[in-house]
Amino acid sequence: MRLVIPAGLPRRRTAAVGVALLLGWLSGLGSGPSGGGQDSATAATGPAARPGPASVRSTPSPPPAPAPEIDCRTAKCVALTFDDGPGPYTTKLLGMLAAHHAKATFFLIGGSIRGREAVVRRELAEGHAIGDHTWSHPQLSTLSDGAIRSQLVRTLGEIRRATGGTTGIMRPPYGATNRRVGVVTRGLGLAQILWSVDTNDWRDRNSGIVAHRAISWAHRNDIILMHDIHPTTVNAVPRILDGLSKRGFTFVTIPELFAGRPLKPGRAYLDGG
């Protein structure tokens, strides 16, 4: 979706100033910031909190999110992100990512989760991260504080219902954020994850174009915006994975991209710095 740059928010890498800082705590689900999120009780992702033996890792339900072995301060990382799902093509996409051993991040629409709970659980079970993309995709900057909060909290509840856990990241629809969105997200323990590469896949429903943009526009530590509700985008993914692999990229989740630099709730990030 189109990026609405909020006043005062720098484009692209200029944001790295503030961007390079925070997220050890969010390994996707269940690892919200201690104290920050309302669901930190489920942060059973630390090694000590892990209930069972190693076999737990192969269980599909809890999202263990083992400590990332990739260090993006040294590796050439890129974060693929898919918004507006889950949808009818998400399962196909998960198969493509698995075939390539690639990890991604899904920003979920709360109102789309019912009936696709298993898809969301599979996203986590396969090592991907999930984030809150509001309940019904409004432009948050135009809403009251209460309505902003409701859009996010309702979706967090749905994520909890589907997976038993929570998340510490969100993405404002259209990239439309402002100071009030920052205050509300901070209160909810959610960091705002924007993007640095926009494939405009929602507008150009052409797999070749989408693949070409993702492959040729990506730089190290970029966050690439796509949407798994478009079959043209999903069909572009094998080419994207091949093309970016050939360029030496490693595909990481948002928490992995910021590993060791905890994301700060309320702050907006455009890339991994």
> Mind telling me the catalytic residues?
83, 227
- Residue 68's H or E segment, with its range, is none
- Quote the DSSP letter at residue 186: H
Cβ closer to Ni ion: 45 or 112? 112
Q: Rounded to the nearest 5°, which phi and psi values hold at 222? A: -75, 155
Instruction: Find the shortest distance in angstroms from Cβ 252 to Ni ion.
Output: 21
- Residue 152's H or E segment, with its range, is helix 145-163
Instruction: Find the shortest distance in angstroms from Cβ 100 to Ni ion.
Output: 24
Instruction: Find the shortest distance in angstroms from Cβ 113 to Ni ion.
Output: 14
Instruction: Find the shortest distance in angstroms from Cβ 38 to Ni ion.
Output: 23
Residue 173 makes contact with Ni ion by CB under 5 A:
yes
Instruction: Find the shortest distance in angstroms from Cβ 186 to Ni ion.
Output: 21
Instruction: Find the shortest distance in angstroms from Cβ 183 to Ni ion.
Output: 21
Cβ closer to Ni ion: 86 or 173? 173
Residue 228 makes contact with Ni ion by CB under 5 A:
no
Supply 190's token pair: 């959610």
Query: Can you tell me the distance from the alpha carbon of 153 to that of 245, in angstroms, rounded to the nearest whole number?
Result: 37
- Residue 222's H or E segment, with its range, is strand 222-227
Task: Give the binding range for Ni ion (CB under 5 A) out of 167-175, 213-221, 233-241, 256-264.
Answer: 167-175
Question: Taking a C-beta distance cutoff of 8 angstroms, is the pair 114, 158 a contact?
Answer: yes
Q: By beta-carbon distance, which residue lies closest to Ni ion?
A: 83
Cβ closer to Ni ion: 128 or 133? 133
- 3-state DSSP call for residue 95? helix
Q: Site size for Ni ion, by CB under 5 A? A: 4
Cβ closer to Ni ion: 25 or 195? 195
Residue 173: exposure state from Cβ atoms within 10 A (0-12, 13-18, ≥19) = buried
Cβ closer to Ni ion: 37 or 87? 87
What's the CA dihedral at 203, 110, 28, 139 to 10 degrees?
A: 50
Please give the angle made by the CA atoms of 31, 37 and 42, to the nearest 5 degrees: 40
Task: Report 102-161 residues binding Ni ion (CB under 5 A).
Answer: none
Supply 229's token pair: 């509700």
Query: Can you tell me the distance from the alpha carbon of 163 to that of 125, in angstroms, rounded to the nearest whole number?
Result: 10
Supply 194's token pair: 């924007």
Cβ closer to Ni ion: 83 or 201? 83
Task: Give the binding range for Ni ion (CB under 5 A) out of 7-15, 87-95, 169-177, 251-259.
Answer: 169-177
- Which of 39, 84, 123, 228 forms a contact with Ni ion (CB under 5 A)? 84
- Which of 83, 132, 198, 271 forms a contact with Ni ion (CB under 5 A)? 83
Chain residues that interact with Ni ion, rule: CB under 5 A? 1, 83-84, 173
